[in-house]
Copies of this chain bind each other. A is one copy, B any other.
Amino acid sequence: VFFAVVFIFPRCQCPTHSHTYSQGNTSMAVSNIRYGAGVTKEVGMDLQNMGAKNVCLMTDKNLSKLPPVQVAMDSLVKNGIPFTVYDNVRVEPTDASFMEAIEFAQKGAFDAYVAVGGGSTMDTCKAANLYASSPHSDFLDYVSAPIGKGKPVSVPLKPLIAVPTTSGTGSETTGVAIFDYEHLKVKIGITSRAIKPTLGLIDPLHTLHMPARVVANSGFDVLCHALESYTTLPYHLRSPCPSNPITRPAYQGSNPISDIWAIHALRIVAKYLKRAVRNPDDLEARSHMHLASAFAGIGFGNAGVHLCHGMSYPISGLVKTYKAKDYNVDHPLNSFVICRSPHFPHGLSVVLTSPAVFTFTAQMFPERHLETAEILGADTRTARIQDAGLVLAETLRKFLFDLDVDDGLAAVGYSKADIPALVKGTLPQERVTKLAPRPQSEEDLAALFEASMKLY
């Protein structure tokens, strides 16, 4: 019932508009993707079709030795495409690591890019393409406000083919590139439809190489993309709503199309994530998760995310000592991952606050909170609507417990004393936090961090 109301009377709330209908903030820029086991073998042909003659293949040091990169390189060689490899992508990139890749791209004068890796690689490649195509820009020009200037991109970029190797970020479908702005200790992003990859090659074979914790953590990213985008402010309630479509943000609030992607991705997470984590040979489960990652990406890439993501950036930015299992060379058997400095997996940083966040937001759209709890396995037949947040939170706690997630922020090295810094680090994330269905004061944020110290 709620859905119908939202969707049918798109009444603009913007103070500068006095009309009762019309608003048209819902612009669906959807993505080109090709799905199939082995599609990476076609990347050379795709580049040839694009007329590429000087390609940059980006990846990280760990993946550069693994089959996904090998398969892509073989295809480039086979199709006679001249290319240069850049494998210095930093896992959870920083402004400095972006800069290094940008410089490489500027010197190389490439006419196309291929990113083979997780969100870290794809995001770095997007930034490299953007700034190499816009050599007179300052780095902060395209970084989201308030930290950057958030300028719209008007230069033409080179084609970029993204080949995801994790099942998490959906970066192959989004116009987003995230990095750690080191001296401010916050994660922040560049958001523009212009940096969306030209094509995503979604090849489930790559998922067979992922260590268990990478599957789990990137799967939590899918989970939160779906849950958050489904519960963002509906598109017609978001403000400001610029009258010219070109100046409207990519993140426009939940809408009838992003909803479809979010719910579908959530169903897949509910059905397959546990299997995908437990069994590295479960190609069925891992294939479904690989596609779910793209689905959730298309959803949140149009709708946006909110508090789990907004609060995650200081969580991963301020971490001191956490040692991510499977993201480390100490376990040579089931881990191929080299990490050059302490970092905190993005998916884990978003999911740890999810029970607290959805308890907080549920009062706005309780039906949607209950609906997602049901998809995640809760029996909601007798649930009261005013308990929607608690029901979803409880369902999430159980899900995370089953998947061996650390017991809250305390378990990953935070204490109450860190809360002011965590709150301060969340404030600049208004690009996403203002999409939360419920406005938050600094006290609210502090309470959310506190409630996330312990999960079980």
Contacts and interface: CB of A to CB of B under 8 A. Distances in A.
A27 B265 CA distance: 19
Interface stretch (A126-134, A283-291, A336-344, A378-386): A283-291
Given A4-B284, A30-B31, A245 B36 contact: no
Interface in A256-311: 256-257, 260-261, 264, 283-284, 287-288, 291, 295
B32 A36 contact: no
A49 B244 contact: yes
Interface in A36-54: 36-39, 41-42, 45-46, 49
Interface string A15-41: 000010111111111111111111101
A452 interface: no
B283 A8 contact: yes
Contacts of A22: 36-39, 41
A34 B38 contact: no
A322 interface: no
B284 A46 contact: no
Given A7-B287, A244-B49, A32 B30 contact: yes
A301 B360 CA distance: 41
A197 B222 CA distance: 31
Interface string A233-250: 000100000011110000
Nearest to A255: B35
A148 interface: no
How many copies of this chain does the complex contain? 2
A7 B201 CA distance: 16
A443 to B, nearest CB: 36
Contacts of A284: 4, 8
A28 to B, nearest CB: 5
A10 interface: yes
Contact of A30 (B24, B30, B36, B264): B30
A153 interface: no
Contact of A260 (B34, B256, B264, B283): B264
Nearest to A287: B8
Nearest to A45: B244
Given A8-B283, A45-B245, A264-B260, A34 B39 contact: no
Given A46-B245, A246-B49, A27 B21 contact: no
A159 to B, nearest CB: 13
A205 interface: yes
B26 A38 contact: no
Contact of A25 (B33, B36, B246): B36
Nearest to A35: B26
A270 B34 CA distance: 30
A79 to B, nearest CB: 10
A304 to B, nearest CB: 17
A34 B42 contact: no
B23 A34 contact: no
A33 B39 CA distance: 27
Please provide the 4 A-B residue pairs with the shortest distance between their CB atoms, ordered closest to farther.
A22-B38, A30-B30, A24-B39, A24-B36
Interface of A: 4, 7-10, 19, 21-39, 41-42, 45-46, 49, 201, 205, 236, 243-246, 255-257, 260-261, 264, 283-284, 287-288, 291, 295
5 contacts: A22-B41, A24-B35, A24-B36, A28-B32, A260-B260
